[in-house]
Chain A
Amino acid sequence: MQTEVLIIGAGATGTGLARDLALRGVSCVVVETGDVNSGASGGNHGLLHSGGRYVSNDTEAARECREEGALLKRLAPQCVEDCGGLFVAVAGDDENFVADYPGWCAAAGIDVCCVDPAEARALEPVLSPKVVAAFAVPDATIDPFRLALENMAHAKALTGCSLLRRTRVTGMDVDAGRVVRVHTVNTVSGEAGTIEAAQVVNATGAWAGRVAALAGASIPMLCSQGTLLVTHERMTRRVVNRLRPPGNGDILVPGGTVSILGTTSVTIDDPDRARPTVAEADENVRQALPMIPSLGYTRFVRAYCGVRPLIRSDAGQGGDGRSVSRGFMLYGHEEAGLSNFCSVSGGKLTTYRLMAEKTADLVCARLGVSAPCRTRTEPLPAAPSCRWTEPGFAPRLWTQRHDADDPLLCECEMVPASAVDGIMDDCGQQFPDPGLQALGKRSRIGKGSCQGAFCGVRVAAHLYDTGHYTSPKGLTRMREFFTERFKGQRPVLWGPQLIQAELAEALHCGLLGLELEGPDTAPAPGAAKDEEARP
């Protein structure tokens, strides 16, 4: 296969870059070892930062967030809920931090407004009576799945840019300072392939160090796992941040119909092995209790995690690691003698557009393309098949026009069979054999209180009926789907969710015997990697 630009990694950055390049008339191919947002872009808080979180220690990153956040609210409103945010301190928190906060915000240009603690509690009744200070900032939330899917869809519409899912980059041939060939392997079939591209971009987030090494370049990286917990119901209207230096369990972000509590920070060796733990779940709840006491008895339906790529400080900013901003890193890898390979990593979901812009600038300069960046001004078109990731969309639609012949396959999140068919059609045009996992990525299926236990069975039956599953492999796909959903449930199995999990296993194993080895039970190679971390 040949292409002008090969992008490795289909997170927010890779998909955003695909669109940026497409808008400049440059065509590309995106390869992704899992599916869209298999990495940090699917394992984050979904907070569209106002910058308020970074004012105390990183004014530049805060300013970047402020600008990019404002831009996305305007250009991709379908992906954003402009809910606002509060920073609150409780009795015992550092008073100097509280006193300095408005000044820091002003320095970063962030609109901040002091809110009386009693008023803050009136705005968000779940706040502790011990709140002693509160500030309002223009935080918002963003749906990273819809964002990435719509970026991809737009790139496809513009230049036919394609996404190769389940395609892992395993090697690169370098000749005379150029990456001449990229080797890939299909993580499902095991089939090997090669891609030749004029320019190769490594947009693999926490994996960037490993992928750069394939080309003989180096990025000194550390991986930090962060775990988040999803509540059964939405608890606040606004984003609620603890007014103290960033730490564990200090943000509660609404995510449509739920709230997301986070996060921890645990250094890990291998980003492929990230998974949320019981200890992190307990720590998040414990830390958050002073701010929101009712979290002590709130029902959580799931946990998930993402891996932050941190550039190791002992390595300094050496090499040619041009620090475009302290928020993210763009490497041209000239020091490794390479002229058509670059890496972009770090940053935020909030700043993905800026990261894509700076990367596209470098790629275009190397290609000799002079078209300017247009993502600063062009709105992101809404794509109909991408709207099912939005919590609350399906129930709204159902109440508006309920079709008796269109059964709800996912009863928790009210996803009808017609949505499943639509997404499957859309996926079918892009890649072979879409199934439960792909549907989970592109809709709310499996995200409600049953966590896929029931809807997974119903959707699988529907996929057999509609001819998408035609062999016992469908059972393997069911096993993978339930296994994947379980990873996120395990840390929060207490109270009602423990009961739910027992019922699920009674169905999957007690009745259906899915754990028993059969001729079809051999796990698909690479199945474990299909991280699907979002709620």
Chain B
Amino acid sequence: MSQPERYDLAVIGTGLAGMAAAVFASSRGLRVVQAGSTGAISYTSGVFDVLGALPATREGQPARPVERPFEALPELLRDEPGHPYALLDPEDIRLAFHELMDFLRGAGLPYRAGGERNFLLPTPAGTLKHSWCVPETALPGCEALAQGAPACIVAIEGMKGFSARQVAVNLAPHWPGLTTARVAMPGHPGGEVYPEQVARMLEVPAARKALAEALAPLLGQARVVGLPAVLGMHRPGDVAADMERLLGRPVFEIPTMPPGVPGIRLKETFEGLLPGRGVALFCQQKMVGPLPAPGEPFRLRVAGQPVEHHVLADRALLCSGRFLGGGLGGLRGRPLTETVFGLPVAQPEDRAQWYRQDYLDPRGHAVHRAGLRVDAALRPLGRDGAPAHEGLYAAGSILAGQDWIRMKCGAGVAIATAFKAVTTLAGAR
């Protein structure tokens, strides 16, 4: 067998944290090897939250939406001192986002960050989401909502889980003058249609023209038009601009149920561009191996395909996510485990405490705050409370002390901790 290839950094995981880490590390000249199931990232809504809500701390309290995420950080950290944001300079969160946004803009996926305030954007249920950084294709919706400009929400025939009436009826108290329309996607044979199909169809100018023609008579007084997120798979900004030209008014996207188009765009963008930046990316594969002795490099096996690869890496960044990602495991009658290196997991005493009785309890569930404890440099701690290995770092949702689902801080934790870990380990090299 040939000598294993040697890398500066092994990134374990291809969710948002792993992908962001690979971008940051390759920009800093590190030789990166990365593996993971890229499906993980297509589940994300495409909207990047920093902090959207503060869970209740006492029974009977409501959870509160957050309008100004950076202003709310001290309050979050007072209630949740173990949150990974406690290890970051808020300025690093902004820097991290802007570096990733530059990369995405270059790839044709422009995002807009909200300055001091969160954007308020409609969800497919007709609730409002507070998010700090949104794809530019969602922006006209945020603006129209903020101004109360009349809009028409359009549903596509045969697309399950997206009801224009649901969005409009539920948003009516916040957004006067909302109307709805429903169109069949021209050129689609009928029956069920998925957002991804429509997005790929709309890459073609003729399809956009046909859709605009079908839509035009339905829009009435609307000054903007909201569609489920289907405005093309690549370069959605161009598709949106063309639709705006054809309809004579701005068009915006509303996220759909996972896996939705904005998530798939991210997946395809990272998958497509990282190899060109020198990242050795192994998609749909796992990277496993023992924790090396102090001073020794990581000897990792890239597994899951008929041909296995062995790699050597001076450092490793664990971005393996939680249960859905596979980084944490939870079986009956056993404590939660970290699945790659068997690191200790901070967690509730037993399974009966994982979840509260009420699903929507505004305090959130203890199981989501379980995860890896890390030192100030984001190195996971071993059983003795010291870093498990001097070259092992962790980032993303696997970190303990955060509940991204309830705090709406998923992308923020993923991107900012990846940034901090990469800048730290690049500096320490």
Q: A interface vs B, CB < 8 Å?
A: 275, 277-279, 282, 285, 404-405, 407-409, 454, 457-458, 460-462, 464-465, 467, 469-472, 474-475, 478-479, 482-483, 485-487, 490, 493-495, 498-499, 501-503, 505-520
Contact = CB atoms under 8 A, between A and B. Distances in A.
A490 B63 CA distance: 21
A495 B331 contact: yes
B160 A409 contact: yes
A510 B360 contact: no
Nearest to B163: A461
Contacts of A511: 45, 123, 129, 255, 258
A33 B354 CA distance: 32
B104 interface: no
B160 A514 contact: no
Given A475-B125, A483-B358, 14 more contacts: A404-B192, A472-B173, A478-B125, A482-B359, A487-B359, A494-B331, A502-B322, A502-B323, A503-B43, A512-B123, A513-B127, A513-B129, A516-B64, A520-B170
Contact of A457 (B257, B331, B367, B405): B257
A506 B170 contact: no
A193 B52 CA distance: 45
A456 to B, nearest CB: 10
Q: Is the interface of A mostly helix, strand, loop or mixed?
A: helix
A454 B169 contact: no
Given A509-B406, A516-B65, A474 B166 contact: yes
B107 interface: no
Contacts of A478: 125
A405 B191 contact: yes
B124 interface: yes
Interface in B141-174: 155, 158, 160-163, 165-166, 169-170, 173
Contact of B330 (A275, A457, A471, A495): A495
21 contacts: A275-B357, A404-B189, A454-B257, A458-B160, A458-B161, A461-B162, A464-B165, A475-B127, A482-B359, A495-B331, A502-B323, A505-B365, A505-B368, A506-B258, A507-B258, A508-B360, A510-B406, A511-B123, A513-B408, A515-B361, A520-B170
B410 interface: yes
Given A510-B405, A510-B408, A282 B332 contact: yes
A223 B417 CA distance: 52
B170 A278 contact: no
Interface of B: 43, 45, 52-53, 62-65, 123-129, 155, 158, 160-163, 165-166, 169-170, 173, 189-192, 255, 257-258, 322-324, 330-333, 351-352, 354-355, 357-362, 365, 367-368, 404-406, 408, 410
A409 B159 CA distance: 10
A258 to B, nearest CB: 18
A462 B159 CA distance: 10
B160 A509 contact: no
Nearest to B336: A498
B191 A404 contact: yes
Contacts of A503: 43, 258, 324
A509 B405 contact: yes
B169 A472 contact: yes
Given A507-B257, A507-B258, A518 B160 contact: no
B323 A461 contact: no
Residue with the greatest number of chain B CB neighbours at <10 A, chosen from A470, A485, A486: A486
Contacts of B160: 407, 409, 458, 461-462
B127 A512 contact: yes
Contacts of B362: 515-517
Given A407-B192, A475-B170, A512-B127, A493 B355 contact: yes
B280 to A, nearest CB: 28
Contacts of A520: 170
Contacts of B352: 277-279
Nearest to A404: B191
Contact of A515 (B63, B123, B330): B63
Contacts of B351: 278, 282, 493-494
B330 A464 contact: no
A465 B408 contact: no
B360 A509 contact: yes
A278 B191 CA distance: 42
Contacts of B127: 475, 512-514, 516, 518
A279 B124 CA distance: 38
The 7 A-B pairs with the shortest beta carbon distances in the complex, nearest first, are: A404-B191, A486-B359, A464-B166, A461-B163, A517-B62, A515-B360, A278-B352
Contacts of B124: 457, 461, 512
Contacts of A495: 330-332
Contacts of A469: 166, 169
A415 to B, nearest CB: 12
B190 A404 contact: yes
A238 B375 CA distance: 55
B362 to A, nearest CB: 6
B364 to A, nearest CB: 8
A519 B160 CA distance: 27
B360 A482 contact: yes
Given A475-B170, A510-B410, A513-B53, A499 B323 contact: yes
B120 to A, nearest CB: 11
A390 to B, nearest CB: 23
